Structures are given as C-alpha cells and as structure tokens.
C-alpha cells in the first residue's frame, strides 16, 4: 500500500479508537504501529521488533526523568508543599489569574509533566475563588501556562527529543535564552486574551456572579516566610546543573538524568517518614502511566521511520508546501491524531531526522516550528482536554473556547516568532 495512504488510515483509526473507547494511548499507539507496519509491507516479525526497539529507545531516554519528576510532584503533594510554593509565588504575584498561569508555567518544567502540575494546582486554585466562573478561569490558565513552558523550555519531555535530534551542537543554555523570554511573552499574551475575552471573570473587584460555599481542601493559612523546604528539590536541580557541566563534564543526556536524580533524592531525603514510602509507591504508578504512553509513541515513530515513510512523505510535501511549513504542519497533524505533545515530539523527531528539512532550517527555528504545531489542535484526542473538562464541569464548547483556542493562539504566536527568527536572524 502507498505509505501516505497507510499513514492516513493509521492516524484515522488511532483517532477513532481514542474517541470511542478512551483506552490507554499506549495500546492505541502500539496497535497503530502494528497496523502501519503491515500496511506498509513490513513483515510481522520486523514490525514487532521495530516496536520493541522504539519502546526501548524512548524508555531509556525518558524513564529516569519522568520517574524523578513524579517523585518530586507526589511528595510535594502528599506533604501539602505545593500550596506553600503557590503561597510564596503569591508574595510577588497578587493577581489570581496571573498567579494561576505562572504557577502552572513554573511547575510543569521540573515536574516534567504539565498534567501533573495541573492536578497539583487544582485544589489550591479552588481556594482562591468561590465564584465558579472565576475559579474555572484560574484552572484554564494553570493548564495553558503549564503547556506553554512544557512545549518550549529545555529540558522537558517535549523538547528533549527535538533538541537531541535537531540541535546541531547548540548549547541548551543558548536555546533557553531564546525560548524562556518567548514563552513568558506568550504567557503574557494569553493573560491579555483572557482579560479581553472574559473581563467579568478575570478582573479583580467585580461582584461574583455565581457565589458558592468555600470548598477548598488545603490549609489556607501558612506560616510567614519563604518555604525553602518545598523549593529544595528545584533548588537542588538548578545547583546540580553547573556541577554536571563544569565539574563532572557530563553530556547533555547525562546532565538531564543527573540533575533530575539530584532533585528526586533531595525530595526523598526531606520527605516526612510518614509519607515517604507511600509517596514513592504512588510516584512509580503515576510515572508508569506517563512513560508507557510515550513509549507507545516511540514504537509508532520507529516503525514509521523504518518503513521509509519519511523520505517518501517529505519528498511529496515539499513539492506543494514551502519547506519551512513542513515541520509545523506535520507536527499539527500528529498532534491532532493522538493528542499528546510528547508523542508528537517523539514521532516528528523520528520522521524528520536526517531529512532535507533539517539541513534547510536553523535548529532553533525547526524546534520552535514543531513546538508550535503541537499546540494548534488540542481537542478531543487530547487527554488533558478531558481532564480540564471534568475538573471545571464546563461543556465541551466552553472548554474549546477557554482551553483549545488560547493554546492554538499560543501556537500561532510561536510559529510567527519562529518564521521571523529564521528570516531576520538566522539567514
């Protein structure tokens, strides 16, 4: 079968199964890998071997990182230290919408999961507003803020595979020197969007429209002063960076795993004995759910690349589409089909690596284009979409307006900046 047709059929079935059955993405992606391999003319044995190779490759890249992030997140949550972190941020950011967006933005990177950051913040944001529309806006902003940093800042599971495939020797510090200001500017734009679109829910001082009884489940009154114990794992990660680069001379991959291990060990060492064992058990379960979904993406990506799809598809796309748009459009298609930004990054990195696209576009632009594409369609195949819908209790149309649309606008902004950098700076 023609590889393009096989790819379209595979994505369509992955999308349909995701919508109808809502089963783990791992199984839909593995099933998609088997289907694509057979449709592409690969033997069953070669397909299964490719699946195993893809799973192993992704697990070796992300296993330690995601487990360490889960350990930090769960131990912070079990000891109610997440609200201490939010309380500290509130000393500098008084506006609740800005607080929600910045909290999600900050937590998603060291925790290595935007969904986990959102789950941790939900009970805290519930305490900030008794008015349901305003409280939901805070939840939307926390979700969008976590996605913005997760899609742009190194090292997150979205950026790591892209950076490893396309960086061309660029320092991560140079990359983040571009993406951190960009991500903060995009977050500021999102806050302005909410201020323009929902002034009744965002502006402080207005009378609440739907008051409710307080229902928060965290302790609102916290001791004065900075809660250094809660920040300790993140401080340890930052301190470990120069140690890894300068003192130990570790590679990029070695550095990422090293600093995350340092953060996790710090969290474990400082955890109260009563929560340490149970927290580690919950962390392993939480990390397992995340890593196996990503491994499913690695399996599908590896089989797609092994089939020769990349050369065939990209050759055809460049006949009709400017090469600068290829990474953006390809990432948007993959994101639409299966809904995970990490999966999108893994598959896109596998498919585009070694292609003519890599040599034609500056590495920073290429990564930004893929990140932008991964934000364009966050709809029904996106597990985060349904989590936000259940948490807010809003209808699907409202979630599209307050979650899908702002993320899409963020993707468009990243795309525009990437194009501007390519033509004005890198050429």
> What is the distance between the alpha carbons of residues 82 and 150, in angstroms, rounded to a whole number?
18
377 contact partners, CB below 8 Å, separation of at least 6: 332, 335, 336, 404, 408
Per-residue pLDDT of the chain in tens (427 residues, 90 and over written 9):
888 888 889 888 887 887 787 777 788 889 989 999 999 999 999 999 999 998 998 888 888 988 998 899 899 989 988 888 888 888 888 888 999 999 999 999 988 889 888 988 888 888 777 788 888 999 999 999 999 999 999 989 899 999 989 988 888 889 999 999 999 999 999 999 888 776 655 544 343 444 444 445 555 455 667 889 999 999 999 899 889 888 898 887 888 899 999 999 999 999 999 999 999 999 998 888 888 877 887 888 888 878 887 667 777 777 788 999 999 998 998 888 767 898 889 888 888 887 888 889 999 999 999 999 999 988 877 878 888 988 898 988 899 999 999 999 999 999 999 999 999 998 7
Q: Quote the pTM value.
A: 0.80
Q: What are the helix (H) ranges across 112-131?
A: 114-126
B/e letters for 114-140, b = 16+ CB within 10 Å, e = fewer, are: bbbbbbbbbbbbbbbbbbbbbbbbbbb
For 8, the enclosing helix (H) or strand (E) is helix 3-21
Q: 20 vs 11, 13, 51, 343, 386, CA distance in Å?
A: 14, 10, 24, 20, 13
SS3 426: coil
Of 153, 145, 152, 149, nearest to 191 by C-alpha is 145
Decide: 152 and 371 in contact? Cβ < 8 Å.
yes
Q: 288 vs 24, 49, 58, 135, 340, CA distance in Å?
A: 12, 22, 13, 31, 16
């Amino acid at each position: 079968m023609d590889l393009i047709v096989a790819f379209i059929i595979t994505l369509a079935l992955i999308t349909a199964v995701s919508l109808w059955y809502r089963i783990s993405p791992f199984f839909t992606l593995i099933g998609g890998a088997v289907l694509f391999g057979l449709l592409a003319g690969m033997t069953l044995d070669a397909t299964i071997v490719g699946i195993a190779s893809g799973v192993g490759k992704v697990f070796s890249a992300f296993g330690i990182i995601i487990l360490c992030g889960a350990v930090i997140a769960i131990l912070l949550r079990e000891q109610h230290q997440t609200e201490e972190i939010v309380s500290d941020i509130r000393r500098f950011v008084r506006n609740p919408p800005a607080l929600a967006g910045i909290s999600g933005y900050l937590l998603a990177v060291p925790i290595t999961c935007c969904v986990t950051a959102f789950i941790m913040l939900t009970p805290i944001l519930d305490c900030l507003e008794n008015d349901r529309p305003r409280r939901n806006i805070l939840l939307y902003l926390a979700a969008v803020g976590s996605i913005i940093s997760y899609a742009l800042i190194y090292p997150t599971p979205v950026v790591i595979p892209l950076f490893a495939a396309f960086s061309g020797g660029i320092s991560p510090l140079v990359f983040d020197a571009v993406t951190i200001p960009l991500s903060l500017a995009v977050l500021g734009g999102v806050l302005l969007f909410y201020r323009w679109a929902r002034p009744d829910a965002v502006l402080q001082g207005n009378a609440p429209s739907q008051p409710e009884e307080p229902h928060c489940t965290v302790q609102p009154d916290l001791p004065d002063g900075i809660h250094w114990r809660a920040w300790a794992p993140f401080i340890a990660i930052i301190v470990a960076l120069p140690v890894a680069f300068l003192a130990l001379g570790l590679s990029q991959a070695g550095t990422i795993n090293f600093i995350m291990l340092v953060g996790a060990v710090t969290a474990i060492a400082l955890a109260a004995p009563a929560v340490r064992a149970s927290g580690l058990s919950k962390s392993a379960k939480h990390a397992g759910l995340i890593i196996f979904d990503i491994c499913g993406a690695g399996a599908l990506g590896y089989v797609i690349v092994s089939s020769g799809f990349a050369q065939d598809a990209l050759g055809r796309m460049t006949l009709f589409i400017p090469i600068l748009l290829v990474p953006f459009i390809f990432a948007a298609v993959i994101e639409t089909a299966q809904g995970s930004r990490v999966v999108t990054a893994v598959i896109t990195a596998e498919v585009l690596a070694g292609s003519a696209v890599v040599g034609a576009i500056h590495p920073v632009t290429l990564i930004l284009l893929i990140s932008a594409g991964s934000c364009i369609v966050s709809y029904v195949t996106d597990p985060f979409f349904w989590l936000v819908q259940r948490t807010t209790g809003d209808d699907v149309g409202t979630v599209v307006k307050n979650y899908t649309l702002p993320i899409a606008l963020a993707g468009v902004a990243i795309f525009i900046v990437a194009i501007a950098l390519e033509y004005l700076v890198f050429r």
